[in-house]
Structure 1
Amino acid sequence: MTERITRADMPQVPGGNGMGTAPTGPASVSSPALAKYVDPLPIPPVVPANLIDFPGAAYYEMSIRQRSWQFHRDLGVARTWGYWAVNPLDRRYPVGMGYLGPTIDAHSQRPVVVRFVNQLPTSHLLRESVDVTLWENLPGVAPDPPGGRSPNTFPEFPPGNVWCTTHLHGGFVPAQFSGHPLSWFTPDGEHGPKYASWHRPRTNEAVYVYPNTQPAATLWYHDNAMAVSRLNVYAGLAGLYLVRDGIEDLLGLPRRAFEVPLLIQDRTFRPDGSLSYPAVGTSDRHPRWVPEFLGDTPVVNGRAYPFLDVEPRRYRLRVVNGSNARWYDLSFDDGSGRLPFWLIAGDQGLVTQPVRMTMMLLAPGERADVIVDFTEVAGGQVRLANSAPAPYPGGGGPELPEIMLFRVGRERSEPERSTAPDRLAPPPIPPLVAAPGVRVRDVVLGEDADPVTGDTLHALLNQRWFFEPVEEEPRAGTTEVWQFANLTAAALPVHLDLVRFQVLDRRVLDVPRYTAACLRWAAAGRNRATRPRVGDYVRGAPVPPAPEEAGWKDTVKTYGGMVTRVIATFDVPHAVFGHPATGTRLPAEYTYRCSTLERQDNEMMRPFRVVDPSS
């Protein structure tokens, strides 16, 4: 096996072909044919910080609104959702685009306070795709989960179906500000059972405090509301959150106009330019839910097939996979081959040694910080290409071989002052070591299918529903190894709130033997103490992490029929401003989940609880 997992490396999974060919549901409309590379790449504006209202912190007021956006010059203007920030320099001119949100430029060790205001309509933009069976039992529809769902306080549908909450993906934040899926709030002031806020919010607001006690990294914020996150993010609720620090500042990386964010998504459009998302599901149990969505058009920073004019010099590109389900295997094609580039940082910041690459695989939720040198292609063009099948890695869905175009000029506006990537010397990253006696936890990724039709009904972690009791309770400050065993035929990304981790390795899982052992265990009463251990059913040599998995991570790829091991220390953030309400109160509940949003919305998410070390 190579370090990079391919179709040939993935073992056969019973009930599937082992190639990630999970059904995506009935096809939505096809997008109109669009001319490529006729629209310039939009750059999300950076919000000026209000440094007055909360001394020692940067304050932002972000309104979540329905506005309009044009994804391509040949498409009509669409209704979209996005974040709009109050401009402290002139409140008459809010900062936003209409789709997505502005960029927050944060600094390590300086807290950020964000007031999120839900100003959306009370009817969802993608109302026809809202599937109430994901949280209710309806007459004539079999209960899912069997026996019925736990009581909840979701607004009645229709019309009160617009709840949202914002998660800082990769943020080291207290639990009450993590954007828990049940911390949602509506435009008319209804709250979910985990709703929390700081500093006197109105009923349609939540005020979150982000301590930023973490190194420089490319984070992103996005909606995380229970059962509708796939729709809210698809409508536009996402944006960039960049943490900077002094160590990164001293490296001499490309800055200002030569530092470009690329938030990559896939979308499908109706002829009038509006967003199209499936409204017919794969199962009668969930008549409007699909296991994953794959759009037929690439969108970067909100524009379909954009171009960017660049100079013949080094650029820093902050790449975010913001798609619901699509994976990207990215390369830079200059017409004669793949242009090499350098990975300098991943999800959680700088790597110890920059990695020279020609291809880079990103799953939903993952980020990569790369240096691309356009010097040798002055006057030419470079395509950002994608070779990942969809679904990954088996294919069968709409593929997107071209993402955007870089048009390289012949002259530089100023001398090249950035450091060559092969000369960068970031501080070393000490490896986390699984010491003898370290706690090892198994997390099994599985799906339940209709026994008659074979349609996917839901996706689960450890065969548990979200509302079942918490099973994972790491002690604050302790280090643990988590083993993700993927029993499905799909490659699935997994994200853990709160922690950063290191990827240890992957091994092939003997799925038939392990599944048989689990069935016997379940039939005997599901005693947690006797649950089959994943480690007893692996075979073959460990596969080391791929190059793009170097350094600290918060989202990891798991492959069908394999076990992926990560190691993390469960530290918790402390209070800022000397105000106890901004610190972590133990026990503190976070979540871990599949960051394929369709699966997250249908139970592939579980809470974990960080407890007092003395408990």
Structure 2
Amino acid sequence: METIQPIAWINQVPFYEVSMRQSMLKLHRDLPPTKIWGYNGYFPGPIFRVWRNQMIRVLWKNELPLKHFLPIDTTIHGAEKDKPEVRTVVHLHGSVTPDMSDGYPEAWFTNGFKEVGPYFSLKIYEYPNKQPATSLWYHDHAMGITRLNIYAGLAGFYIIHDTEEQSLGLPNGPFEIPLLIQDRSFHSDGSLLYPSQPDPPVADVNPSVLPDFFGDTILVNGKVWPYVEVEPRRYRFRILNGSNARFYRLSLSNGGPFVQIGTDQGLLSAPVNVTELLLAPAERADVLVDFSSSFGEEITIKNDAASPFPQGEMPDAQSTEFVMQIRVTKSLSSPDHSKLPHTLTHVPKLKESTQYKTRNLLLNMRTDEFKRNIHLLNNQLWSEPITESPRLWNVEIWSFINLTEATHPIHLHLVRFQILDRQPFDQEIYEENSKLVPTGSRVTPDPNEQGWKDTVRADPGEITRIIVPFGPYTGLYVWHCHILEHEDYEMMRPYVVIQ
């Protein structure tokens, strides 16, 4: 993946230009070239590397064809027949950004920057970068077709650096590698396969939105089952789950640990050793792996997360169980002076207060007119009136009550938050009389979840509580499930931060 450079500096602000284009790329030596949509024609898009408190501006240009090459369901909100087939809007996931540059789903634009929708879309977005060093990612967020646009290739890394992180002596340069993990399926001619119907098919809708998508092939950084050659030294991997719906529970085939140093929103307070790393769609993990005693080994990163998670089928032992290979075959180019500090940064622990507003928010389902399941937030459609209006600088506690059988990764735009706890409850009693009856004690998050987050796994049959400071901007944002098929079909709601 290339690092993008500004095309100009205007009043001491770096200015970037990125065009969304169709390309034909080789994703594996045994596959014919594949048609993709990429930022500047790349899949994944180029890496942004920026510095904390240095604002940048980006001109996002839609230069894509006017017809989509993936199946569009025109029965879902935002993708009706009267909308242009190809619409895009960029969201910088995890960014602390004014609403006009956040990538509101209805602020899409077409080839030639024709702006439509109720919310004006800026051509040039401003990213203040006023947040600690972390790994973010940018991706498409167009209403009703996000799942298709990201599947086509519209995603990339955005990494914020700062002096605190730089002072820690962590592996850097060629020894710091971003890893974007996704799943795809292919036709025999190399083209992307995205089904036009679920299994079983929907009689009266074609194409129809899927309940979720699971590919039979794993890609890392846009390559099918790749390998990387490394030296016998410590490496830093910035891992991002960029799949539509697939969860990953990653492990190393040699039984070695990941030393997790960061999560969605930056560094943890101290390193955490884990032998398994669970990532829902959109979650990130910043990890160190020490290969200093592994020279000559071929180590496989494996996956054993069920799909759907957690109750679905286990990965195929011949395909989706494998993510990539690490070959410790390169000679040491220089002494390894990197460090693993005992302390990484200060993460203040947010504590509950009776002064904080608490919201109980359902994750539930119902059927539509075609007898398909719709996943909902608080039993509301996107188009219903806004019900979440936190005040600027207020702290709120959001409790996600999951009435479904699947884990939902819930993402809030603008803010970062901390996980308070998870607690099982009696689902039958709740569905009968809306009464919450816990069936166990509250469980604090695992040590590697006890940092700042922007996406949280809300497990079935549990109450997942997060504590959220709202700011530093007012305006219109969204919160949603980051399983893209759910997000596109109603599991997304607007919210507004008011003065």
In the superposition, the TM-score normalised over structure 1's length comes to: 0.78
- For the structure 1 residues 381 and 134, does the alpha-carbon distance in structure 2 shift closer, same or farther, using more than 3 Å as the test? same
Distance 1:223 1:551 in 2: 26
Q: What pairs up with 1:247-258 in 2 under 5 angstroms?
A: 247-258=164-175
Q: C-alpha deviations, 1:199-240, integer Å up to 9, x for none?
A: xxxxxxx21101101000000000011000000000000000
Distance 2:203 2:414 in 1: 36
Q: 2:358 aligns with which of 436, 440, 445?
A: 440
For 1:545, the equivalent position in structure 2 comes to 445
Q: 1:507 aligns with which of 402, 418, 423?
A: 423
Distance 2:149 2:459 in 1: 27
For 2:27, the equivalent position in structure 1 comes to 71
For 2:51, the equivalent position in structure 1 comes to 107
For 1:298, the equivalent position in structure 2 comes to 218
Higher relative contact order (CA 8 A, sep 6+): 1
Deviation at 1:194?
4.2
- For the structure 1 residues 286 and 551, does the alpha-carbon distance in structure 2 shift closer, same or farther, using more than 3 Å as the test? farther
Q: What is the one-letter code of the residue matched to 1:557? A: R
Q: What is the one-letter code of the residue matched to 1:164? A: T
Q: 1:461 aligns with which of 377, 388, 402?
A: 377
In the superposition, the TM-score normalised over structure 2's length comes to: 0.95
For 1:201, the equivalent position in structure 2 comes to none
1:47 has 2:28 as partner: no
The answer on whether the counterparts of 1:503 and 1:567 sit within 8 Å (CA) in structure 2 is yes
Deviation at 1:191?
2.7
Could you tell me which runs of 5 or more consecutive residues in structure 2 were left unpaired when the two chains were aligned: none
Q: What is the one-letter code of the residue matched to 1:593? A: H
Q: What pairs up with 1:227-306 in 2 under 5 angstroms?
A: 227-281=144-198, 282-284=201-203, 286-287=205-206, 288-306=208-226
Q: What pairs up with 1:73-92 in 2 under 5 angstroms?
A: 73-84=29-40
Distance 1:450 1:463 in 2: 13
Distance 1:193 1:473 in 2: 22
For 1:485, the equivalent position in structure 2 comes to 401
Q: What is the one-letter code of the residue matched to 1:274? A: S
Distance 1:194 1:545 in 2: 39
Distance 2:242 2:348 in 1: 29
- For the structure 1 residues 430 and 189, does the alpha-carbon distance in structure 2 shift closer, same or farther, using more than 3 Å as the test? closer
Distance 2:52 2:193 in 1: 39
Deviation at 1:188?
4.6
Q: C-alpha deviations, 1:274-302, integer Å up to 9, x for none?
A: 10001114434654111100000000000
1:383 has 2:383 as partner: no
1:173 has 2:117 as partner: no
For 1:25, the equivalent position in structure 2 comes to none
Q: C-alpha deviations, 1:58-102, integer Å up to 9, x for none?
A: 211000011111111111001110001xxxxxxxxxxx53x2210
Distance 2:24 2:79 in 1: 31
Distance 2:148 2:112 in 1: 20
The answer on whether the counterparts of 1:486 and 1:558 sit within 8 Å (CA) in structure 2 is yes
Distance 1:241 1:502 in 2: 22
SS in 1 for 2:150: helix
The answer on whether the counterparts of 2:303 and 2:315 sit within 8 Å (CA) in structure 1 is no
Could you tell me which runs of 5 or more consecutive residues in structure 1 were left unpaired when the two chains were aligned: 1-43, 85-95, 136-151, 199-205, 519-531, 574-585
For 2:327, the equivalent position in structure 1 comes to 407
Distance 1:397 1:255 in 2: 35
Distance 2:403 2:217 in 1: 30
Question: Aligned residues: percent identity?
Answer: 41
Deviation at 1:195?
4.2
RMSD: 1.8
- For the structure 1 residues 457 and 283, does the alpha-carbon distance in structure 2 shift closer, same or farther, using more than 3 Å as the test? farther
The answer on whether the counterparts of 2:305 and 2:314 sit within 8 Å (CA) in structure 1 is no
SS in 2 for 1:470: coil
Deviation at 1:332?
1.3
Distance 1:110 1:537 in 2: 48
For 1:570, the equivalent position in structure 2 comes to 470
SS in 2 for 1:48: coil
SS in 1 for 2:440: strand
Deviation at 1:386?
0.6
More strand by share: 2
For 1:208, the equivalent position in structure 2 comes to 125
The answer on whether the counterparts of 2:268 and 2:448 sit within 8 Å (CA) in structure 1 is no
1:429 has 2:373 as partner: no
SS in 1 for 2:5: coil
SS in 1 for 2:60: strand
For 1:11, the equivalent position in structure 2 comes to none
- For the structure 1 residues 248 and 513, does the alpha-carbon distance in structure 2 shift closer, same or farther, using more than 3 Å as the test? same
How many correspondences in the alignment?
A: 493
The answer on whether the counterparts of 2:388 and 2:495 sit within 8 Å (CA) in structure 1 is yes
- For the structure 1 residues 479 and 289, does the alpha-carbon distance in structure 2 shift closer, same or farther, using more than 3 Å as the test? same
Distance 1:435 1:321 in 2: 33
Distance 1:476 1:302 in 2: 39
Distance 1:556 1:123 in 2: 35
Report the structure number with the largest CA radius of gyration: 1
- For the structure 1 residues 440 and 589, does the alpha-carbon distance in structure 2 shift closer, same or farther, using more than 3 Å as the test? same
Distance 1:426 1:196 in 2: 41
For 1:130, the equivalent position in structure 2 comes to 72
1:191 has 2:115 as partner: yes
- For the structure 1 residues 219 and 563, does the alpha-carbon distance in structure 2 shift closer, same or farther, using more than 3 Å as the test? same
The answer on whether the counterparts of 1:251 and 1:424 sit within 8 Å (CA) in structure 2 is no
- For the structure 1 residues 231 and 171, does the alpha-carbon distance in structure 2 shift closer, same or farther, using more than 3 Å as the test? same
Deviation at 1:430?
0.6
SS in 1 for 2:185: strand
Report the more deviating stretch, 208-217 or 540-549: 540-549
The answer on whether the counterparts of 1:154 and 1:192 sit within 8 Å (CA) in structure 2 is no
Report the more deviating stretch, 285-294 or 473-482: 285-294
Q: C-alpha deviations, 1:355-380, integer Å up to 9, x for none?
A: 01111000000000000001111111
Distance 2:76 2:480 in 1: 16
For 2:62, the equivalent position in structure 1 comes to 118
Deviation at 1:546?
2.2
